[in-house]
């Protein structure tokens, strides 16, 4: 009897974690909805520049291009072109979102990359959270014929729950059972953030709940890139918060060790606040300027490696460029 119970529990765990096969057409849901159907601030954007350098900015799970906007403006202020698509199902409503899967999001990023890459001599992939995972996945597929000039990921996952670098990581125990739960529940609620957190980390996306069908696909999809990381040879930059409560920092260590890039760097931030998950670094009031500094430094260093002098425009006292320059001076002084 005990053996039977153990077998049943093991079966439940395996099915809960992996789920059953699901037929997905990656070409579905690739059209961007009309602006009238989008959440305010979630619109995709394209900022045309004057140099032959382009950036593809990819947002995260249940997120939107809003998260990438300030970084996009900063890169554009240096004369570069910035493209930030809206991933399928995002930026509208949870009902639309529930029909999309990891394959749809990957196809959107891959198609955008293939379409845009020939238009630029130098082209960077930049992704936050799941967007970083998607950028790594795309880079592993195009390395041979049309590699990116560089890859930048911020808090990118390859594992949410499970073994990584010899450690057992559990960020949310419910994730172990999404393969079963999705047949009984459509959504699971999120913890409601305090007003102070929303002020500290402005964000536009699905705040009220996780959609279980898409959450399961996300969980399973991010892991597929683990076996492809060795194919990546482009210069790479990885940024993560040491105490990220959403994506464990072991993810960054794993990615760093397994990409084959001869030039790679990693930056780890420590945030002295207890109001947030320390995950959304690109809009975090205490972290974003450091993150921008690391990104701009990596871009400049990489472009110099390709014998291209970065275009740095003149800026006023209150511009992001001026702030970054002042921060660099302070860091050098330290």
- How far apart CA 325 and CA 179 sit, in angstroms, is 49
Beta-carbon contacts of 100 under 8 Å, excluding residues fewer than 6 positions away, are 28, 29, 87, 88, 89, 214, 217
Res 198: pLDDT: 74
Reported as a single tens digit per residue, the pLDDT across 175-214 is: 888 888 888 888 888 766 655 577 789 999 998 888 999 9
Phi, psi of 198 (to 5 degrees): -65, -30
Q: Angle 242-248-249 (CA atoms, 0-180°, nearest 5)?
A: 45
- How far apart CA 169 and CA 247 sit, in angstroms, is 10
Res 325: pLDDT: 55
Spans of the chain, pLDDT less than 70: 5, 8-17, 191-196, 307-334
- How far apart CA 308 and CA 122 sit, in angstroms, is 9
Res 314: pLDDT: 46
Evaluate whether 149 touches 233 at the Cβ level (below 8 Å). no
- How far apart CA 327 and CA 330 sit, in angstroms, is 5
Nearest 10 degrees: Cα torsion 225, 124, 29, 103: -10
Write down all domains in the chain, each with its CATH number in brackets.
47-290 (3.40.50.1820)
Res 313: pLDDT: 46
Can you tell me whether residue 124 is helix, strand or coil? strand
Q: Are strands 45-47 and 81-84 parallel, antiparallel or unpaired?
A: antiparallel
Reported as a single tens digit per residue, the pLDDT across 225-235 is: 999 999 999 99
Dump strand ranges (E) for the chain: 45-47, 53-58, 81-84, 122-128, 150-154, 162-164, 167-169, 187-189, 209-211, 236-241, 264-269
Beta-carbon contacts of 34 under 8 Å, excluding residues fewer than 6 positions away, are none
Res 174: pLDDT: 83
Res 55: pLDDT: 98
């Amino acid at each position: 009897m005990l053996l039977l119970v153990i077998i049943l529990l093991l079966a439940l765990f395996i099915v809960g974690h992996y789920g059953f096969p699901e037929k997905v057409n990656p070409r579905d849901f690739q059209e961007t909805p009309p602006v009238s159907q989008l959440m305010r601030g979630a619109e995709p954007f394209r900022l045309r520049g004057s140099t032959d350098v382009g950036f593809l900015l990819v947002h995260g799970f249940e997120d939107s291009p809003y998260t990438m906007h300030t970084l996009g403006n900063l890169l554009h202020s240096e004369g570069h072109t910035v493209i930030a698509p809206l991933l399928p199902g995002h930026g509208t409503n949870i009902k639309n979102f529930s029909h999309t899967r990891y394959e749809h999001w990957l196809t959107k990023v891959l198609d955008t990359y293939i379409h845009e890459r020939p238009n630029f001599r130098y082209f960077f992939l930049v992704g936050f959270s799941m967007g970083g995972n998607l950028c790594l996945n795309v880079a592993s597929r195009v390395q041979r014929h049309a590699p990116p000039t560089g890859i930048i990921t911020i808090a990118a996952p390859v594992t949410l729950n499970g073994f990584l670098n010899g450690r057992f990581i559990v960020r949310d125990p419910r994730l172990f059972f999404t393969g079963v739960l999705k047949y009984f529940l459509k959504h699971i609620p999120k913890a409601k953030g305090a007003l102070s957190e929303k002020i500290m980390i402005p964000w536009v996306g699905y705040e009220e709940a996780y959609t279980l069908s898409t959450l399961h696909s996300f969980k399973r999809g991010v892991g597929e890139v683990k076996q492809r990381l060795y194919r990546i040879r482009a210069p790479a930059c990885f940024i993560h918060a040491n105490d990220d409560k959403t994506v464990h920092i072991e993810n960054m260590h794993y990615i760093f060790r397994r990409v084959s890039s001869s030039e790679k760097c990693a930056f780890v931030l420590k945030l002295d606040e207890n109001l947030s998950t320390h995950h959304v670094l690109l809009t975090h009031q205490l972290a974003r300027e450091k993150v921008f500094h690391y990104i701009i430094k990596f871009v400049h260093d990489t472009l110099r490696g390709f014998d291209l002098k970065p275009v740095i425009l003149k800026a006023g006292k209150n511009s992001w460029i001026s702030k970054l320059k002042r921060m660099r001076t302070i860091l050098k002084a330290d």
